[in-house]
Amino acid sequence: MVAEYQRGDKKVNATGKFDPQNIAAIGIAYQMHGLVLVDKQQKVLRDSIIWCDSRAVETGNAAFRKIGEQRSLSVLLNSPGNFTASKLAWVKENEPRIFESSYKMMLPGDFAAMKLTGEITTTSSALSEGIFWDFKEDELSKDVMSCFGFDEKIIPEIKPLFSSHGSLSAKVAKELSLKPGIPVSYKAGDQLNNALSLNVFHPGEVAATAGTSGVIYAVADNLFFDKLSRVNAFAHVNHNKNERRIGVLLCINGTGIMNRWIKDLSATNYNEMNKQASQIKPGSDGLFVLPFGNGAERIFENKIVGAHLLNIDLNKHSKGSCFSGHTGRNCFFIPLWPGYYA
Q: Are 278 and 272 in contact (CB under 8 A)?
A: no
pTM of the model: 0.84
Across the chain, mean pLDDT equals 89
Q: In this model, does residue 272 exceed pLDDT 60?
A: yes
**Which pLDDT band holds residue 9 (cuts at 50, 70, 90)?**
low
Does residue 253 or residue 116 have the better pLDDT?
116
Q: Comparing 47-56, 190-199, 282-291, which segment has the lowest mean pLDDT?
A: 282-291
> Side chain identity at 221, as an amino acid letter?
D
Q: Are 171 and 216 in contact (CB under 8 A)?
A: no
**pLDDT of amino acid 189:** 96
Q: Are 217 and 261 in contact (CB under 8 A)?
A: no
**pLDDT of amino acid 79:** 95
Q: Comparing 84-93, 188-197, 245-254, 282-291, which segment has the lowest mean pLDDT?
A: 282-291
**pLDDT of amino acid 298:** 81
Phi-psi region of 49 (alpha: psi -120 to 50; beta: other; left: phi over 0): beta
Q: Is 3.90.76.10 the CATH classification of the domain at 2-189?
A: no
Q: Are 125 and 132 in contact (CB under 8 A)?
A: no
Q: Where in the chain is the domain with CATH 3.30.420.40?
A: 2-189
**pLDDT of amino acid 342:** 30
Across the range 205-215, mean pLDDT stands at 89
Give the HSE-up count for residue 77: Cα atoms under 13 Å, Cβ half-sphere: 28
Q: In this model, does residue 330 exceed pLDDT 70?
A: no
Instruction: Read off the DSSP letter of residue 274.
Output: H
Span 295-315, pLDDT tens digits: 888 888 888 889 988 888 888
Which string of DSSP letters, residue by residue, matches 287-302? -EEE---SS-BGGGTT
